[in-house]
Structure 1
């Protein structure tokens, strides 16, 4: 029995499991986007899953928490550079979606979309968000959008809004955001930076993308009748909300579906990692 092949085999099987789960999730989203027909707002007559495309209308947007842009929806993610133990990598501390109700106008009518606020605290999770090979942040390259609860926001302008070194005071807006978000811990101080070169332990990156008034918008969600509504429904009787899978994006439907198409590569990667991992285990256990 050899410990090294066994360790390699177990690691590859874990990678295969992650890739398989990721591929399955993206495959399901791709199928939803491709197979759900777009409905005109005027034709939403009953409750249920609905795909809509139109323009964002809102009289009272809010200031997005990181960049301060006028927004009806902010998708954000916070990463922190961690050098504890034997690894050096960007770790996701929290991600979420903040949104205020807005109207989707497709020319046939307007319907209210109420996404709500959703935060995923991944800091105490299993680390499935963190796949890094050397300097390559694999989950950053392969991921599509910000996901929290059943809500996925895919925004074209999603990028680093602010970087904050350790032991530095963040901009006031970012400091207010961190204090107000219960799912996000305070930034760590440096522990090794006297000898650090390059990225310092504890450095943070605050990503954000926003959906703003007059932006094009794609929504796949659940049409729900408002209290007191009569059937068949009219646009003013409907609110589109999250239920099971909810997708909101400022990208064209075709580009969104293509983005989810990475599931094919995930399946291939999972199969290869599983085969090699099983082979390594067999060698380590002396089976072959």
Structure 2
């Protein structure tokens, strides 16, 4: 079982090596990188490329590790007991399976995506150490042990918003997705928009990387934002010559797809003001 990319996902050699190493080692693959560099999409494309189902666990700031295993709905059981419902005699009726349980019980190899793990509390990764290492956990309410018969491919993404515990990192295979170079990004664009004019693509990417290189930019535009912007350029039939920046205006056409906060917008406005003064 080896991942070699898909027709709709451009993966460089280092990324494919990381995915396949994690599969062979049977360890979770921890993927970091700028937002919008395709970390979440990687898990979906690994599933597609290997012909596997994917189970996605989207982590939020309020997510607890226990929710990935199971949840016991004691409130519903109490209510049903008051109503005389015969289901209350079996506590298993009130156990809700989490994403890890679903992956462990699938009976076949699946891809388990734990998306944006750094959004949760700092203890969240520690609370999953044993479960991800041993691929089993105990259900205290029923006394059963849930064990993965077939070990899933676990892909964990992080936007690096907070540091992850060393004990957790030790159990993972790590890969950092670097922002693609212009040649690679051009290939990505051509996959999404086949037949795009080469002069438009060349001028758009030149301007895009110039914007990313501006000092003091709070949020650099990402790969996904580049795709959105180029999609708008194609839809509006923007001429490649119109993408040549006028220092007195400096703001690129349809800049709302690239600049996502007022601080960066004001930065470009100040640059334009300084250019006019000079």
What's the TM-score once normalised by structure 2's chain length?
A: 0.22
Larger of the two Rg values belongs to structure = 2
Which has more helix, going by share of residues?
A: 2
Normalising by structure 1, what TM-score?
0.21
Q: Which has the higher contact order (CA 8 A, sep 6+)?
A: 1
- Which has the larger share of strand? 1
